């Protein structure tokens, strides 16, 4: 038992775990960051009941909550748990593993996450033929050139994650050794392959951002251009991004700065209303990136959407850098 785990704290933790609903909640938010409405859907309980149990768990330091738009999302951050508290949770999780109720919860959570992905895929399937115009109308075009100075030298292998119709690949390919594009929408992939058909150094692949069809430590730079706010689990995507990067590799993320326009979020098909600087920096750090630098991109006068936030970060190199990166964009925030 940890020396700092007092009897009162231990009893409070044990009391929190003595309720089956709270155990079910903890198991779910350990798998995915979820809001009250989503937990109510999966657990088939009223939102008021879920809120009451979340409040109790928060008071006992079991979960971390953050606000995204009008929602509050909860998750377990094991790194923040007291060592004794963590051991207690591992015992509870192990002892409840075979409960039929929990298997039902897992099945409903899988369905909810599948519905999220299907909704996003349906949006992009419908938008594929007109996506370049839609994106230009929302965000302008200046942002796409801002990323190039943050990339590695001309012999770099670059991954464009969530490549859409391949417009960024088309621009990047002449400046680097090889570009791998990944998207999970067939209509977008078809457009990207058609656009890049004449580029011998381009490889467009079908795959989800949470499970990239790219080998470990095989690319020098990876980009997420207006893609992160469309996924259900941004942290999982950023961890995949880090997995494919070589030691000393560079990650570049461009996405909408946090906004409160629900009409715009629905119109753009996004899963969340962008990211604040602190939130994006924290996610990159939690995914294992270092030297995180963020900046607000210059507004495009023709764009009617929210301002854009750019982040660059690096994987830690063991010994010498894989390749010496060029200077990234001047940052407003360093963490």
Q: What pLDDT, on the 0 to 100 scale, is given for residue 297?
A: 78
How many angstroms separate the most distant Cα atoms in the chain? 69
Contact partners, residue 178, CB within 8 Å, separation at least 6: 157, 158, 201, 202, 203
Task: Summarize pLDDT for 183-237 with one digit per residue, the tens.
Answer: 988 888 999 999 999 999 999 999 999 999 999 999 999 999 988 988 888 999 9
Residues of the chain falling short of pLDDT 70: 1-6, 68-70, 115-152, 263-264, 267-268, 298-305, 318-335
- CB 60, CB 16: distance < 8 Å: yes
- Extract the tokens encoding 153: 């030298």
Dist CA 203 CA 26 (whole Å)? 41
What are residue 248's phi and psi, to 5 degrees? Answer: 80, 5
What torsion, rounded to 10 degrees, do the Cα atoms 79, 81, 85, 91 define? -40
Predicted pLDDT at 214: 97
State which H helix or E strand residue 14 sits in.
helix 7-16
CA distance 142 to 164: 17
- Give the pLDDT confidence score for residue 30 in this predicted structure: 85
Q: What are phi and psi of 41, to 5 degrees?
A: -65, -50
Residue pair 56/50 in contact by the 8 Å Cβ criterion: no
Contact, 329 vs 295, CB < 8 A? yes
For residue 244, the model assigns a pLDDT of 97
Hey, is 17 helix, strand or coil? coil
pLDDT at residue 322, rounded to an integer: 38
Buried (b) or exposed (e) across 58-92, using 16+ Cβ within 10 A? eebebbeeeebbeeebbbbeeeebeebbeebbeeb
**8 Å CB contact between 218 and 246:** yes
């Amino acid at each position: 038992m940890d020396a700092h785990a007092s009897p009162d704290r231990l009893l409070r933790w044990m009391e929190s775990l003595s309720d089956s609903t709270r155990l079910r909640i903890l198991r779910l938010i350990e798998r995915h960051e979820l809001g009250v409405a989503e937990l109510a859907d999966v657990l088939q309980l009223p939102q008021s009941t879920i809120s009451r149990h979340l409040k109790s768990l928060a008071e006992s330091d079991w979960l971390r909550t953050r606000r995204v738009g009008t929602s509050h999302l909860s998750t377990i951050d094991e790194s923040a748990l007291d060592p004794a508290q963590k051991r207690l949770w591992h015992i509870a999780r192990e002892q409840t593993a075979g409960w039929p109720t929990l298997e039902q919860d897992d099945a409903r959570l899988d369905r909810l996450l599948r519905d999220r992905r299907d909704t996003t895929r349906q949006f992009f399937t419908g938008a594929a033929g007109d996506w370049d115009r839609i994106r230009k109308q929302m965000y302008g075009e200046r942002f796409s050139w801002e990323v190039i100075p943050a990339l590695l030298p001309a012999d770099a292998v670059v991954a464009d994650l969530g490549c859409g119709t391949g417009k960024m690949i088309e621009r990047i390919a002449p400046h680097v050794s090889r570009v791998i594009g990944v998207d999970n929408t067939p209509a977008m992939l078809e457009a990207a392959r058609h656009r890049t058909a004449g580029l011998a150094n381009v490889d467009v692949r079908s795959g989800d951002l949470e499970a990239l069809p790219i080998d470990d430590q095989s690319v020098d730079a990876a980009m997420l251009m207006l893609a992160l706010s469309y996924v259900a689990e941004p942290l999982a995507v950023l961890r995949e991004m880090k997995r494919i990067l070589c030691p000393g590799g560079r990650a570049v993320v461009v996405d909408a700065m946090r906004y409160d326009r629900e009409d715009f979020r629905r119109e753009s098909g996004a899963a969340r209303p962008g990211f604040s600087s602190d939130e994006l920096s924290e996610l990159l750090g939690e995914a294992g990136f270092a030297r995180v630098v963020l900046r607000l991109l210059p507004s495009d006068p023709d764009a009617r959407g929210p301002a854009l936030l750019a982040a660059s970060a690096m994987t830690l190199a063991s010994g010498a850098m894989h390749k010496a990166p060029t200077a990234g964009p001047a940052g407003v925030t360093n963490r």
